[in-house]
Amino acid sequence: MSAKNEVVLVLNSGSSSLKFQIYRMAGEETLLAKGLVERIGLKEPVFNMKRQDGRSIEESPQIHDHLDAIKLVSAKLTDPDIGVLASLSEVTVIGHRVVHGGETFHDAAVVTDEVIKAIQDCIPLAPLHNPPNLTGIEACRAAFPGVPNVAVFDTAFHHSMPPSSYLYAIPYEYYKDYGIRKYGFHGTSHKYVAEATAKYLRHDLSNLRLITCHLGNGSSITAIDRGKVVDTSMGMTPLPGLIMGTRCGDIDPAVVLYLMRQGMSVEDINKLLNKKSGLLGVAGIGSGDMRDVIEAEEKGNEQASRALCMFVQRLISYIGSYYTILHGAHALVFTGGIGENSSYIRARVVKKLAELGCQLDETKNQVSGKPAIVSDDRSTLKAIVMPTNEELMIARDTVRVLREARS
Ligand code: ADP
């Protein structure tokens, strides 16, 4: 099968949800439909699907498990009224988002029993994410017999980091015996925007040094030297680095010890740092959503203002560090919900980067959700907005590794 004829079903399975997109990879790589099954195995599950032409459906059927969900998606994709496929046999391959590939997976992998075992071995590194990702894979193996599955890992793009970036300064045997090291996340997004930026700038990625900022509910920043990651801000888990919606990002690790000595349980500390911190914790307005925090600042809320100062400062200190690690960079790329849509946050960041040769163009920066250069023409470090598309990247990687495996 040539890549052109591939129809790829892209799945992102959570513990009670299943997001799907279906692509025809011919020519322009067309998204045929996308949708979501929510509340799998819970009361009142919800299914919705939207086609490329804008037609959509929403239903609340009984869905007991992921196999039910996959069967429902299959039925809707081939439904004579709302479906986008004449037959399920049109689906040539299924690409699955898998969060953690540990040190085993440097690239996406065609699913075999050995691959499943290796993903299972990574469960201790991502106990909340890898199990539902595996459930999705198993459900597809049952529902689509004979159709190959490919696992695409959030961590894989970061495998090129050198030990000086990925090791923590604790005794080496903790890395050797327990795999304690930086892995990095959002790799699929960083890879997509790096490739899209190179295309947009009409440069070869192999000639560019990029700093990519994925700023969403979760945020991370990556230094990319000629297509290879040299450092990234998330770590062994997605907790460190930038300040996020509800996650603290970098803090002194001894804070955890201190809280434990005060009698807080591991679970409570986990919740504090992952769910109650970040913009939510600092702004104190009951929301970690950037739009709400900006609105609160506009109304004069000092804590919200402080949260935004901290968010911007943390980001700038990483940009400065990565600029140095890369020996200078051609472009600083903004993506994710905040990076793509908030001209306000971009302006606050870029205005602090004059020393790096980056000057904001206020007019160009008014863009939202579209590729654009938002620095002025004199800037030696370009600031760029590049919308991410993780599902399309998964579809591309899926087709590529399947082709490589068959050749
Ligand atoms: P996720 O990480 O869950 O995929 P997104 O990438 O969709 O999240 O990003 C969500 C974040 O983007 C939220 O904090 C939201 O407030 C922020 N966001 C979206 N649009 C804007 C905007 N116009 N201005 C500021 N923040 C925005």
Per residue in 283-294, pLDDT (tens digit) is 999 999 999 999
Distance CA 375, CA 346 (A): 10
CA 150 – CA 110 distance, rounded (Å): 4
Nearest atom within ligand 1 for CA of residue 342? 24
Ligand 1 pocket check for 25: Cβ under 6 Å: no
pLDDT at residue number 5: 81
pLDDT in tens, 272-286: 999 999 999 999 999
pLDDT per residue as tens digits for the range 337-360: 999 999 999 999 999 999 999 999
Which protein residue has the closest C-alpha to ligand 1 atom 19?
Answer: 337
Chain-centroid distance of CA 356 in Å reads: 27
Task: Assess whether the C-beta atom of 339 lies below 6 angstroms from ligand 1.
Answer: no
Whether 154 is a known active-site residue: answer yes
| pLDDT tens-digit series, residues 196-235 | 999 999 999 999 999 999 999 999 999 999 999 999 999 9
| pLDDT above 60 (res 109) | yes
Q: Ligand 1 pocket: which of 290, 308, 389 to mutate (most atoms <8 Å of CB)? A: 290
Among protein residues, the one with the nearest Cα to ligand 1's atom 12 is 337
215 bridge partner residues: 219
Residue 277 CA to residue 246 CA, distance in Å, equals 5
337 lines ligand 1 (CB under 6 A): yes
State the pLDDT confidence band at 143, using cuts at 50, 70 and 90.
Answer: very high
User: What is the model's pLDDT at position 3?
Assistant: 54
pLDDT in tens, 319-333: 999 999 999 999 999
CA of 112 to the centre of ligand 1 (A): 36
Pocket test for ligand 1, best of 12, 294, 341, 346 (most atoms within 8 A of CB): 341
Quick check: 362 pLDDT over 60? Answer: yes
C-beta of residue 105 within 8 angstroms of C-beta of residue 61: no
**3-state SS assignment for residue 277:** coil
Q: Which CATH architecture has domain 3-153?
A: 2-Layer Sandwich (3.30)
Give the mutation target among 12, 97, 192, 217 for probing the ligand 1 site: most ligand atoms within 8 A of CB: 217
Q: Tell how far the Cα of 278 is from the centroid of ligand 1, in angstroms.
A: 14
- Catalytic, out of 113, 121, 154, 268: 154
Residue 244 pLDDT > 80:
yes
Is the CB–ligand 1 distance for residue 216 below 6 Å?
A: yes
Report how far ligand 1's centroid is from the alpha carbon of 24 (Å). 28
Q: Check whether 1 has a pLDDT greater than 70.
A: no
Would you state the structure tokens that stand for residue 385, as one six-digit string? 């907005």
Q: How far is the CA of 62 from the centre of ligand 1 (A)?
A: 31
Distance CA 182, CA 159 (A): 10
pLDDT of 28 strictly over 90 = no
CA of 158 to the centre of ligand 1 (A): 24
- Quick check: 4 pLDDT over 70? no
Residue 6 CA neighbour count, 13 Å, CB half: 27
CA 132 / ligand 1 centre spacing (Å) = 25
Q: How many percent of the chain have pLDDT more than 90?
A: 97
| Closest residue by CA, ligand 1 atom 3 | 217
Instruction: Dump pLDDT digits (tens) for 372-392.
Output: 999 999 999 999 999 999 999
- Paired strand residues for 46: 38
Question: What is residue 27's predicted lDDT score, i.e. its pLDDT?
Answer: 79
pLDDT (tens digit, 9 = 90+) per residue, 153-165?
Answer: 999 999 999 999 9
**Most informative mutation of 214, 291, 312, 388 for ligand 1 (most atoms within 8 A of CB):** 291
* DSSP states along 226-260: TTEEEEES--SSS-SSS--SS---S--THHHHHHH
Mean pLDDT of 174-198: 97
Q: Tell me the CATH number for domain 204-390.
A: 3.30.420.40
Beta carbon of 342 within 6 Å of any ligand 1 atom: yes
Rounded Cα distance between 188 and 407, Å, is 24
User: Three-state DSSP class for 222?
Assistant: strand
Across all residues in the chain, what is the average pLDDT? 96
CA of 307 to the centre of ligand 1 (A): 16
Q: Please report which helix (H) or strand (E) contains residue 325, including its range.
A: helix 302-325
Q: In the chain, where are the structural domains located?
A: 3-153, 204-390
| Residue 128 confidence class, pLDDT cut points 50, 70, 90 | confident
Contact status, residue 76 vs residue 62, Cβ threshold 8 Å: no
Helical segments of 56-167, H only:
66-77, 113-121, 130-143, 163-166
**Ligand 1 atom with least separation from CA of 368:** 23
